[in-house]
Structure 1
Amino acid sequence: MSAAGRTGEEAVAAVLAQVERDHLLEAVRGLVDRPSPTGAERPVAEWLVGHLAAAGVDSHLQVIDDAQANAVGVLPGPADGESVLLYAPLDTYTTGDPDLDIPYAGPRMREDMLPRATVYDDLVVGLAAGNPKGHAACVLVAVEAMARAGIDLPVTVVAGFGAGGMPSFAVDGIGSPGRANTGHGVGASFLLERGFTTDHAVIAKPGWTVSHEEVGLTWVDVDVPGEHSYVGSRHRMPYRNAASGAARVIEVLEAWCDEYAARHEVGTMRPQGAVSSVHGGFERLAASTSALVRVRLDIRMTPEQSAPAVVREVRAALAPLMAELGVPLAVRQVASVPGSRTDRDAPIIRSAVAAWESVAGRPHELVRENSGATDANMIRMRGIPTARVGMPKVAAGPNGQPVDFTLGMNVVDLKEARRLVELLVRTVVGMGGLPR
């Protein structure tokens, strides 16, 4: 039987025969070695378009502005058939620039924080090698293998690689001047808005499971007022230190976040919150107290919640402290992305679960207490049923070192990448056996 006539396991085998370790390594290296901080993903998108075209995939550079762009590849299925988006974002959590990342991402730039791939047997280390670029590499390799295998696809496959997927505002000095909306899923929204809306979608992000729902987020600022004064006059003039008030605010909110998460847990989601930054005062003028200190926090929320309701909860949590301090605390929303959910009986979820069970060799089990937000929310907001699949976090670094948050983002295991490629391929092929 020709490759074009194969279905089911024969089609999967034909595609996987095209997947070699070198393909995965080349894809990971190609992505990691091209810096793509939020707001400046266009160079890596251009590389992806060229790579897809060389493999015979109909490819497109979807330009957002001079610095941001998406990469898209299309494999046609039946003319009267449905379509599936395989999606991964391209931007990195930190920038790879020590002037921008240090000291807040760590005391120094480690090997894994640099946009340069280093190979240790099956482990590849470098900025975003695991998340998101290792996952984007799996989408790339899966689509190119399907193209080379020449099988008859049951659905049209759209490979989408998006800019601005990180929960980030614009980074000073990166991207096009004047652009404020460079993160929070702008690439995914633009992709779907401008010609590539599909019937179903799969997003590749970390987690060896199939997720059908995930939290959204609301960013909240709390303004703590004080008196702008002089340390030398502390004993002679009215004194109210906004910095000490902010410290009290942080203590209250950090304790409240645990109670909030437990109260709003539903399904597979346990929405977390954390104080992320504090701004206030003149660093050049330590003799001065500040008239204002601003505390920012990220509060995750389930599809059952709304951003205004989250803001009201924060205000209520701070009300006793406000009365105690005798000062007004201004609480306002500065960003929000709603949580989302796909019916577990949706065809894309059933196909992804069946694919996962074939690869894992055991029944699928839901992973609970999740609080990670991704572009899946942007895709589901467009009414597209979406499954999230991904690789597990590596157990140890290349030299056996413990895996902290940063290393977990910046290392990928090629063996796990091969499993994710198979999962993606099986999910696409499996859509042919499901009713529309």
Structure 2
Amino acid sequence: MIDPKKLAAMKKKALKLIDRERLLQLACDLVDIPSPTGHEKACADYIIGRYRRAGIKVLPQAFEDTRANAIGIIKGRGDGPCLMLNGHMDTSYVGDEQYLPDTPGYKPKAVVDGEWIYGLGVYNMKGSLAAFIHAAEALQGSGIELEGDLLIACVAGEIEKSQVGNYQGPLYRGGGCGTWYAITHGAVADFAVVGEPSGMTLMRAHGGYVWTRITLIGDPMHTIYGTARNNTISNMMKIMHALQKWGDEYEKRRAHLGMPAHVTLSAIEGGWPYRCSRVPVACTLYVDTRLLPGQQPLEVQREIEAVIARVRGDDPDLQRLHLDMNMFMNQWGSECPPEEFIFQAVAEAHRETTGKAVEITAIPFASDAGELNAHGIPALNYGAAGRLRTFRAGEHPGDLTKDWNPGQGEHASIEDILQATRVYVNLIVNVCTRTRAELGLKGKKRRGKDTDDQEEDTDDFAA
């Protein structure tokens, strides 16, 4: 094990290179590059350019014309573990959606207001990306040689989105596809920390989801022949009422670590708006059901099928309509137990940096930690953003009644991003100066620093 004085000196050397103004500019630059789902390549190119200028190895990962992951690697001597810092570049919105508030927190243009940055993506999760990248730049600039590897995975396609019906193309291909591509194309690690907006709390568990599509189909006819009995929208309202009633019970029954398993009637389509003189021949309902750790998508599907079967069994009007139903998107939740090394390492890095014990949370939004855990890479969430300007002193994310302010949109504390960068530096040094033998990890010693497990950098990859 490395001498504690030497370890402290290594950290001090790297921490000195953290620069608040450079970090702020980096965060603003990332926000200023629009990167909605399906169009992340410009943001990836910017990050790859920074990797190259810092002397950080690049693993090329372009997987669609307008999409790429930005994978950077700092190689160690070969005896230590590989630590991944993972975060997504795609943003929750494009920024020009109808009815979206016309405020800086929803626009891909950074606005600095005192100690806060506003702009689309800074909360989810370009604030953490800035902290990851700057931490890696500081380590590389310090000349510190690690035993293990640091892998920075800035990925595309995390946002909860799916192609369905008329909504086709890259803009709708999300749901963890970037991290899946990364870890099945060479960007693998022993441990991972994902930078979702946890407000510098250790998010030990997160949720997933099941998306269900339910369609009722009737007969085409003029409204002069229509009644509530043969109207697909009117009949869908019966199903909606039954699902909401079931959802209220499901939410409590399936709660885990304080996370409620919300059921949301998310979208509905029916009829022809340009032909209101026709009884709606079809109506489609879309349902989001939160899936918590330890639960399976088929459990949700079977419960929804049972609810609808009960409603139809008692209603001849529903029985006369054709019903089509399917699950069209799902992601699993995951949990990182306290005995995992990465859990303890993040807790220690936070305590070492802030002087306080880290708060442990569980939040039911989806995260690429689920994809990583499913592929055998222990992962949890610890992010720079997440604390809102409206929070009182000492408040942290975890209370779903306070964790989002729709009026302000996305924003992040500059001080939190700076402090999280320091936490990441301490974490990297603490983890990557250990040997695999110390940590009980399998695998033979690599032949040397110049022997790479990953694909070599190539000149023709755009930067």
Q: TM-score, normalised by structure 2?
A: 0.83
Kindly indicate whether structure 1 or structure 2 has the higher relative contact order, using CA contacts under 8 Å at least 6 residues apart.
Answer: 2
Distance 1:27 1:378 in 2: 27
Distance 2:264 2:180 in 1: 27
Match of 2:410 in 1: 410
Match of 2:339 among 342, 345, 362: 345
**Cα deviation per residue 1:223-273 (whole Å; 9 max; x = unaligned)?**
2344432223337xx951111222232233233223212111234543222
Distance 1:336 1:203 in 2: 20
Distance 1:423 1:317, change over 3 A: farther
Match of 1:242 among 205, 211, 232: 232
Distance 1:206 1:409, change over 3 A: farther
| Secondary structure of the corresponding residue to residue 312 of structure 1 | helix
| Secondary structure of the corresponding residue to residue 186 of structure 2 | coil
Q: CA deviation at 1:302?
A: 2.3
1:11 paired with 2:3, answer no
Distance 1:393 1:319 in 2: 44
1:293 paired with 2:283, answer yes
- Could you tell me which runs of 5 or more consecutive residues in structure 2 were left unpaired when the two chains were aligned: 392-401, 441-463
- The residue identity in structure 2 corresponding to 1:220 is T
Distance 2:328 2:38 in 1: 19
- Could you tell me which runs of 5 or more consecutive residues in structure 1 were left unpaired when the two chains were aligned: none
Q: CA deviation at 1:37?
A: 0.7
Q: CA deviation at 1:287?
A: 1.5
Distance 1:355 1:92 in 2: 28
1:228 paired with 2:220, answer yes
Equivalent residues of 2:56, 2:140 under 8 A apart = yes
- The residue identity in structure 2 corresponding to 1:125 is Y
- The residue identity in structure 2 corresponding to 1:325 is D
1:324 paired with 2:320, answer no
**Cα deviation per residue 1:128-151 (whole Å; 9 max; x = unaligned)?**
111111111111111111111222
1:218 paired with 2:201, answer no
Matching of residues 21-420 of structure 1 within 5 Å: 21-96=20-95, 98=96, 101-103=97-99, 106=100, 108-170=101-163, 182-207=173-198, 208-234=200-226, 239-267=229-257, 269-326=259-316, 327-328=318-319, 329-368=323-362, 370-390=363-383, 391-396=385-390, 404-406=404-406, 410-420=410-420
| Secondary structure of the corresponding residue to residue 383 of structure 1 | coil
Q: CA deviation at 1:408?
A: 6.5
Q: CA deviation at 1:79?
A: 1.3
- The residue identity in structure 2 corresponding to 1:430 is N
Distance 1:325 1:360, change over 3 A: farther
Q: Percent identical across equivalent pairs? A: 24
Distance 1:297 1:413 in 2: 34
- Aligned-residue RMSD, C-alpha: 2.6
Q: CA deviation at 1:307?
A: 1.2
Distance 1:379 1:181, change over 3 A: farther
Equivalent residues of 1:348, 1:427 under 8 A apart = no
| Secondary structure of the corresponding residue to residue 364 of structure 1 | coil
Match of 2:439 in 1: 435
Equivalent residues of 1:32, 1:116 under 8 A apart = yes
Distance 1:194 1:268, change over 3 A: farther
Q: CA deviation at 1:426?
A: 1.9
Distance 1:115 1:414 in 2: 17
Distance 2:181 2:379 in 1: 17
Equivalent residues of 1:154, 1:428 under 8 A apart = no
| Secondary structure of the corresponding residue to residue 230 of structure 2 | coil
Distance 1:151 1:172, change over 3 A: farther
Which range moved further: 120-129 or 250-259? 250-259
Equivalent residues of 1:49, 1:60 under 8 A apart = no
Q: CA deviation at 1:384?
A: 0.3
Q: CA deviation at 1:393?
A: 2.5
Equivalent residues of 1:392, 1:416 under 8 A apart = no
Match of 2:398 in 1: none
Equivalent residues of 2:388, 2:404 under 8 A apart = no
- The residue identity in structure 2 corresponding to 1:27 is L
Which range moved further: 403-412 or 343-352? 403-412
- The residue identity in structure 1 corresponding to 2:242 is V
Distance 1:259 1:357 in 2: 39
Distance 2:428 2:230 in 1: 62
Distance 1:75 1:173 in 2: 43
